[in-house]
Amino acid sequence: MKNYRYRSTLFLSPIFLAITLLAIPSIAQNEENPNSPTPVLLSTTGSSRALATDATKPVNVVPTASTSNFPLNGKAAVFVTNVRLMKGEDYTAFRVYAEDGLRHLYRFPVVGLKIADKENQIYAITFELRDELGVWEVPASGDIFVSVAWRGLQSNRLALRIGKSSDSGDPLKGSSQYKDAQIAPENVGDRYSGDRVRFLEQATFGPSPALDLRVRRIGIKSWLNEQFEIPYPSSGTPYPNFPLRPTTLPLTCNGQIDNGEPDPDPFCYPNNYTQYPVQNWFYREAFYGDAQLRHRVAWALGQLWVISGTDIQQSSHMVAYHKILSRNAFGNWRTLMKEMTLSPGMGDYLDMRESTRFYFNENFAREVLQLFNIGLVMLNPDGTVQTDQQNNPIPTYDQRVVGNFTSLLTGWNNCEASLALCPNRSPGSPNFIDPMIITNTNNHDLSAKTLLAYPGSTTTNVPACEGCTGTAVTTYANNSLNQALDNIYNHPNVAPFISKFLIEQLVTGDPTPAYVGRISAVFNANRTNPSQLKEVVKAILLDPEARGNVKTEPRYGKLREPVLLLTNLARQFDARSFDRTEQSDGVLTAETSPMGQVAFMQPSVFNFYPPQYIVPGTSFNGPEYALYTTGTAVSRINFINTLVFNGVPVNAERRVTVGTSLGLADLQSIIAADPGGNDLMDVLNIRLMHGTMSDQMRATILNAVLTVPASDPLLRAKRAVYLVATSSQYQVQR
């Protein structure tokens, strides 16, 4: 066995790799052990410099010595071990990070992976020495410090010399600035509790002690199977059930009656003509509902297929739309596409129901392509962008295609025909429940259309309907619609586009191409499966890039969007009414609004934040960070302060009927039993931080908590929760 070395300053002593490989167990990731091994970057003997070589030529073996200097924009290869690759897992599963002396963090493009020593399972990872997006200017010379990330786990960090700088000795010797990020032990707290908490943060609106115990007893896979079958909405929180109303507000439902006296039903207007009951229902289902996974996936889908209460008039309209999302959350994407296309709420929001051959409106035709299904540029199956010979992204369609889809989607309107055809119509009120239909055959365009063209497409050309009248037009329109939806659904972009979006919503904002590719393959393998999205969601949540007790890659995870920040705390600490006598009323939109998010009130069809949002000054895709400003950062802290220390009291003006408060009785009992505070910190570390709280964070918070007299355990509990929940570590779901 060859004499290679590696360096890790915290948990692994610098010994011969031969000994290391014998000591490292073969880790098979499964539900019993969700942890992938942490990759180990090899160094030159007796040094903190990475074992690296020039990669402008193929790298087939591990070199005996490291290349001294590497030019910018060149290629280098470093060598990593302690990884166990799945079938098909390649270089797209790895990332190379670098940090310079100014603490600027870069991500270098990984372009290759080869086995360099089969006996010792050592891989050569080839990367380009340039920042992926050119955000920072990589220094022309000097030492940078590189690490490799795989499945959300970061290796040890080692030095690499750039340019023609002279040997500066061992750059890490005696230095605290560039010590490796701590590699957490495999088991944190209770057996694999870290992974359970992480899983519940991804699959629900937040862990709770009872739900954590349930998953601990039956396991993640069994819990998922339960969730796929459980009734929705939950029995205690049915959908709001207000009837369809006229578009023009009746005088008896506008806050006053004819003689100017107060309205005898002050809730008539908010219940019927605002999103007030839908928003309150949403939070109560998130707090108390059993069907957590369907509720969470429907919330995610609603941030793709967007309609908004900024335009949608009535709560009954929004409920009908949300039922489409929840009904199809574990269904087939093609079915969801059709139901959403014919949704009266969507038809109203994006103007399809007003589009005729005499007056075209391209809003829905454009967004069903750009935002809902395929995006603006061609994608590889792993979600990476396809480029032409000049390295420019290849567009998915042009304005001509948008125009053709627009003409095809003409003539539909609300279903106001017979009760047999439109069972939910209500005379005098627009029907926002039944799917839209062709209401006037003269309004549908009968010309030929050319749709999306891609290899293998049999649906690109829609023929004209020469001389069609009456029912022939309706038949033609419906057949054309189905052909158009098939044309979109079978586009090669749909699988990676949707897969990446759902990963971003549930797990991490910047998944590796390998992760996207695996989920995309599941999407494609289940194209005719009526439970397609069930398989996709399951694959996302069980993927090795999602699972594990801890993730150490610096850019792994997602900022908790305001709604999820609220629900995670509420579920962890038994949210109830302000006086603690009943369930919360869920009236909390005023609390999330200053943070930039109000449920069902997206500012535009582009959602609260775009799925492709590069955090300024980085190459990191972090969608939710689009909501994060200096103002909203302060608002997040203020919100947590309000929720933890005060709660939301009854407020007639805001129609807060019973309010919301957190329950900290269990923490008070822990504090009473251990005045020193260590047990309290252990519990908060497991419940809120899944075991990743650093020693420094723990000591700082504990010192602050102990300044509160032991005779006031409630204030101690509140201060501890407040300090953990406002920390940057908790703000990011990892």
Range 584-593 average pLDDT: 98
Among 93-107, 129-143, 164-178, 647-661, the range with the most confident prediction by mean pLDDT is: 647-661
Give the distance from CA 538 to its chain's centroid: 14
Q: Is 642 among the domain residues?
A: yes
Distance CA 105, CA 620 (A): 10
What is residue 261's predicted lDDT score, i.e. its pLDDT?
Answer: 61
Write the DSSP string, 391-402. SPBPBS--HHHH
Last residue of a domain, one of 455, 490, 525: 490
Could you list the residue range(s) of the whole structural domain that residue 726 is in?
Answer: 558-596+616-733
Q: How confident is the model at residue 172 (pLDDT cuts 50, 70, 90)?
A: low
Q: Is 202 among the domain residues?
A: no
Measuring CA to CA, which residue among 303, 399, 333 is closest to residue 603? 303
What is residue 162's predicted lDDT score, i.e. its pLDDT?
Answer: 87
- φ, ψ of residue 393 to 5 degrees: the values are -60, 145
Residues 130 and 238 in one domain: no
Measuring CA to CA, which residue among 640, 701, 715, 707 is closest to residue 672? 715
Residues 430 and 324 in one domain: yes
For the cut 60, the answer to whether the pLDDT of residue 190 exceeds it is no
Range 719-724 average pLDDT: 98
What is residue 68's predicted lDDT score, i.e. its pLDDT?
Answer: 78
Residues 471 and 571 in one domain: no
Tens digits of per-residue pLDDT, 386-401? Answer: 999 999 999 999 999 9
Buried-exposed string 398-407: b where 16+ CB fall within 10 A, e elsewhere: eeebbbbbbb
Q: How confident is the model at residue 454 (pLDDT cuts 50, 70, 90)?
A: very high
For the cut 80, the answer to whether the pLDDT of residue 231 exceeds it is yes
Residues 477 and 577 in one domain: no
Range 221-230 average pLDDT: 97
Q: Is 516 among the domain residues?
A: no
What is residue 169's predicted lDDT score, i.e. its pLDDT?
Answer: 61
What is residue 361's predicted lDDT score, i.e. its pLDDT?
Answer: 97
Last residue of a domain, one of 136, 162, 188: 162
Distance CA 178, CA 171 (A): 9
8 A C-beta contact, residue 552 and residue 38: yes
CA–CA distances in Å: residue 347 to residues 67, 302, 372, 411 = 62, 15, 14, 11
Distance CA 460, CA 289 (A): 44
Distance CA 473, CA 460 (A): 20
Residues 245 and 152 in one domain: no
Strands 122-128 and 75-81: antiparallel
- Out of 160-169, 264-273, 448-457, 701-710, least confident range: 160-169
Q: Which two tokens mark 550?
A: 């801890």
Q: Which two tokens mark 694?
A: 């650093």
Measuring CA to CA, which residue among 553, 566, 551 is closest to residue 596? 566
Q: Is 645 among the domain residues?
A: yes
Range 415-422 average pLDDT: 93
Tens digits of per-residue pLDDT, 633-678? Answer: 999 999 999 999 999 999 999 999 999 999 999 999 999 999 999 9
Q: What are the residue ranges of helices labelled H in 611-664? A: 630-641
Range 627-635 average pLDDT: 97
Residues 36 and 121 in one domain: yes
For the cut 90, the answer to whether the pLDDT of residue 210 exceeds it is yes
Q: Is the pTM of this model over 0.75?
A: yes
What is residue 165's predicted lDDT score, i.e. its pLDDT?
Answer: 62
Distance CA 275, CA 349 (A): 15
Q: Is 141 among the domain residues?
A: yes
For the cut 60, the answer to whether the pLDDT of residue 63 exceeds it is yes
| Average pLDDT along the chain | 91
Distance CA 606, CA 626 (A): 12
What is residue 133's predicted lDDT score, i.e. its pLDDT?
Answer: 76
Sign of CA dihedral 503, 505, 506, 508: positive
Residues 578 and 697 in one domain: yes
Last residue of a domain, one of 134, 162, 190: 162
- Out of 160-174, 292-306, 614-628, 650-664, least confident range: 160-174
What is residue 6's predicted lDDT score, i.e. its pLDDT?
Answer: 44
Range 514-526 average pLDDT: 98
Distance CA 232, CA 477 (A): 34
Grouping H, G, I as helix, E, B as strand and the rest as coil, residue 30 is coil
Q: Is 402 among the domain residues?
A: yes
Residues 6+ apart with CB under 8 A from 92: 110, 382, 384, 512, 513, 514, 517
Range 492-514 average pLDDT: 98
8 A C-beta contact, residue 406 and residue 354: no
Distance CA 504, CA 513 (A): 12
- Out of 229-243, 249-263, 394-408, 486-500, least confident range: 249-263
Q: Which residue has the higher pLDDT, 293 or 181?
A: 293
Q: Which two tokens mark 610?
A: 């775009």
Q: At what angle do helices 513-525 and 494-506 cross, to 10 degrees?
A: 120
8 A C-beta contact, residue 701 and residue 681: yes
Tens digits of per-residue pLDDT, 12-37? Answer: 323 223 323 333 334 456 666 889 99
| CA within 13 Å, CB half, 540 | 28
Residues 690 and 572 in one domain: yes
Distance CA 30, CA 39 (A): 18
For the cut 50, the answer to whether the pLDDT of residue 304 exceeds it is yes
Residues 255 and 151 in one domain: no
- φ, ψ of residue 212 to 5 degrees: the values are -60, -40
535: left (phi over 0), alpha (psi -120 to 50) or beta: alpha
Grouping H, G, I as helix, E, B as strand and the rest as coil, residue 162 is strand
Distance CA 386, CA 399 (A): 20
Distance CA 683, CA 671 (A): 11
For the cut 70, the answer to whether the pLDDT of residue 263 exceeds it is no
DSSP strands (E only) in 20-109: 40-43, 52-54, 75-81, 94-99, 105-108
Range 354-378 average pLDDT: 97
Write the DSSP string, 498-518. HHHHHHHHHT-SS--HHHHHH
Residues 24 and 148 in one domain: yes
For the cut 50, the answer to whether the pLDDT of residue 8 exceeds it is no
Quote the DSSP letter at residue 561.
-
Distance CA 293, CA 285 (A): 11
What is residue 185's predicted lDDT score, i.e. its pLDDT?
Answer: 39
What is residue 44's predicted lDDT score, i.e. its pLDDT?
Answer: 77
- What is the CATH classification number for the domain harbouring 14? 2.60.40
Range 225-240 average pLDDT: 96
Residues 564 and 486 in one domain: no
Range 104-108 average pLDDT: 91
Grouping H, G, I as helix, E, B as strand and the rest as coil, residue 126 is strand
For the cut 90, the answer to whether the pLDDT of residue 259 exceeds it is no
Residues 137 and 254 in one domain: no
Give the length of the chain: 734
Q: Is the peptide bond before 492 cis (omega within 30 degrees of 0)?
A: no
pLDDT cut 90: percent of the chain above it: 81
Grouping H, G, I as helix, E, B as strand and the rest as coil, residue 307 is coil
8 A C-beta contact, residue 558 and residue 627: no
Quote the DSSP letter at residue 254.
S
Q: Is 603 among the domain residues?
A: no
Distance CA 333, CA 330 (A): 9
* Number of domains, the chain: 3
Q: Is 95 among the domain residues?
A: yes
